[in-house]
Structure 1
Amino acid sequence: MRRHLLTLVGTPQPRNYLHPASLNQAGEYILQQLQAAGARTAEQPYEVKGQLYRNLIGSFGPEAGPRLIIGAHYDVCGEQPGTDDNGSGVAALLELARLLGQQPSLPYRIDLVAYTLEEPPFFRTPHMGSYVHAQSLHAAGVPVRGMIALEMLGYYDDRKGSQRYPFSPLKLIFGSRGNYVTVAQKFGNGRFGRQFARRYRAAAALPVKRFKAPAWLPGIDFSDHLNYWQFNYSAVLLTDTAFYRNQHYHEPTDTLDRLDMRRLGLSVDAVLAVLLHP
């Protein structure tokens, strides 16, 4: 995963919509890694204001039947490296690809999707790669077991007071140390969300907080999973809580030396354990 992160932050310019060459360079690397893992790969190109962008998809397991979507966006916001946001999510996605490629068989299809254009100015618009992908599944009538968004998974802080919340009394419930990963979802998110949160917490070798709230609570829908909600798919957010903990969010200081690679790895191990659960 460190190698993936070094490659992603090593593009000539930040991988955002203002620098399509760097965004495409990152995309090519992701596609190559999915292929190297043994995935069946596909590209989902789409046009925004005359510029072509693309989602990259790696599929494992049987061709037919319901599928599970696991996604992470590979673009960044502004002129910064985006190591945690969202290089860590992409690194986790590629590590999952490597691990899934080692499995002799899978009981259902798993699609790993690297999205583009999650960041402003495209956030909450139909130009988000995850919106394009979710809409395409809905239009084709594809049965979806659920969706997991991997969004910022590498930043941890064991100090008291390092964790903030959108609603301060939540600190009394979840604590003030930013030493955990959280599974966030909205109320009424369905059976998949409940099951994933429960199994992930049981499998993880690091602290896990399960967080369920109304969709309007700030932060609960701040990633690609929100677009699957729009098409009535059960979707969860797996995250280190982003700007509620990581003060380097959307800053030039979001660099590799600030990430905890061990705990990033543990967060991925638990996802794999849930995916292989009978």
Structure 2
Amino acid sequence: MVASGPEALRASVEALAGAIGERNVFRPAALAAAAALVADVWRDQGWEVGAQTYELRGVVCANLEVARRGVTRPDEIVLVGAHYDSVLGSPGADDNASGVAALFEISRALALSPEPARTVRFVAFVNEEPPFFFTQAMGSHVYARAARARGDDIRAMLALESLGCYADAPRSQRYPPLLGWFYPDRGDFLAFVSNRRSRRLLRRTVALFRERSDFPVVHAAMPALLPGVAWSDHLSFWRQGYPALMVTDTASYRYPHYHSSDDTPDRLDYAALARVADGLARTVAALAAPDGLP
């Protein structure tokens, strides 16, 4: 598997958060441009791109999807997703152009890998950000609800959420109340977060990642009501009964420019992001292998 390069990741982030910038239903032309960019990247990688569309506030919105069918267990699905919209007033470099950039690198690697046992899907979700977060207007809610209605057997869902900020200074990491007693105070790690029902998937995913990458990892299975635990598209899959987890740099608990106009491409650590994307690509391939899931 070819490792992800920092420059490819930087180019993807700059295309989304620089050239396009703020992208949401309140800036429909930019949102459409972002969707077109996602589709173009995937087509260039050799994928056939599908779209699930719905209308919100008079704007046609799209979840975009590509898939590689499994050979021996095609009905079992490993799904990796990232939202491509940004919050109002922000170009959204870390949140979440970094997640989309990593998604591109993972899909690129999987397109060039041997055929998986399980089906692997990559999905770029729309409308994760407020005012639609936690509502049925989230793109991931629309997707997960349709998946459940079809009877899709999603065995693992990984939400890539804000992956570009890392810092090794003391006290560069914050946490929800009381958790700081148990976890590192340096923000130099990648976090894997799940609810209690998804803890088997969490443990397996972290074990596979650690076998394939030396990037520091922290993981926790916690109640969804704890601040930060449900703050991405994995929530929509929990609500449909699917095992899911969030992979993140912890966003607002580390990154001072979260949801601001200063969330720009120049503030991210692309060398670290490349290591993260490479480790995740290898982990996703392992999850899709015959013995990948518990």
Matched, 1:120 2:130: yes
Q: Aligned equivalents of 1:61 and 1:100: distance in 2?
A: 11
**Equivalent residues in 2 for 1:176-191, closer than 5 Å:** 176-191=185-200
Q: What is residue 266 of structure 1 aligned with on the other side?
A: 275
TM-score when normalising by structure 1: 0.96
Matched, 1:163 2:170: no
SS in 1 for 2:101: helix
> Comparing 146-155 with 198-207, which one deviates more in the overlay?
198-207
> Comparing 102-111 with 228-237, which one deviates more in the overlay?
102-111
Deviation of 1:273 (Å): 1.6
**Equivalent residues in 2 for 1:221-232, closer than 5 Å:** 221-232=230-241
Matched, 1:16 2:3: no
Q: What is residue 253 of structure 1 aligned with on the other side?
A: 262
Deviations 1:2-27 (A, max 9, x none): 11111102345511111111111011
Q: Aligned equivalents of 2:121 and 2:169: distance in 1?
A: 37
Q: Aligned equivalents of 1:12 and 1:237: distance in 2?
A: 26
Provide the alpha-carbon RMSD of the alignment: 1.4
Q: What is residue 38 of structure 1 aligned with on the other side?
A: 46
Q: Aligned equivalents of 1:190 and 1:6: distance in 2?
A: 35
Q: What is residue 110 of structure 2 aligned with on the other side?
A: 100
- 2:208 aligned to which of 190, 199, 208: 199
Deviation of 1:213 (Å): 1.0
Deviation of 1:32 (Å): 0.9
> Comparing 201-210 with 136-145, which one deviates more in the overlay?
201-210
Amino acid across the alignment from 1:67:
I
Q: Is the 8 A contact 1:189 1:234 kept in 2?
A: yes
Q: Is the 8 A contact 2:199 2:221 kept in 1?
A: no
> Comparing 29-38 with 186-195, which one deviates more in the overlay?
186-195
Q: What is residue 91 of structure 1 aligned with on the other side?
A: 101
Structure 1: 5+ residue stretches without partners = none
Deviations 1:228-265 (A, max 9, x none): 00010000000000000001001111111211111111
Q: Which has the higher contact order (CA 8 A, sep 6+)?
A: 2
Q: What is residue 81 of structure 2 aligned with on the other side?
A: 71
Amino acid across the alignment from 2:279:
A
Q: What is residue 139 of structure 2 aligned with on the other side?
A: 129
> Comparing 57-66 with 91-100, which one deviates more in the overlay?
57-66
Matched, 1:138 2:138: no
Q: Aligned equivalents of 2:18 and 2:251: distance in 1?
A: 22
Q: Aligned equivalents of 1:12 and 1:87: distance in 2?
A: 11
Deviations 1:13-51 (A, max 9, x none): 511111111111011010111111122310000111322
Q: Aligned equivalents of 2:99 and 2:234: distance in 1?
A: 13
Using the aligned pairs only, state the percent identity.
37
Matched, 1:212 2:228: no
Q: Aligned equivalents of 1:174 and 1:197: distance in 2?
A: 16
Matched, 1:147 2:157: yes
State how many pairs are aligned.
Answer: 277
Q: Is the 8 A contact 1:146 1:193 kept in 2?
A: no
Amino acid across the alignment from 1:174:
Y
Amino acid across the alignment from 2:162:
M
Q: Is the 8 A contact 1:11 1:25 kept in 2?
A: no
Structure 2: 5+ residue stretches without partners = 1-8, 290-294
Q: Aligned equivalents of 1:47 and 1:276: distance in 2?
A: 34
**Equivalent residues in 2 for 1:39-58, closer than 5 Å:** 39-58=47-66
Q: What is residue 109 of structure 1 aligned with on the other side?
A: 119
Q: Aligned equivalents of 2:176 and 2:197: distance in 1?
A: 20
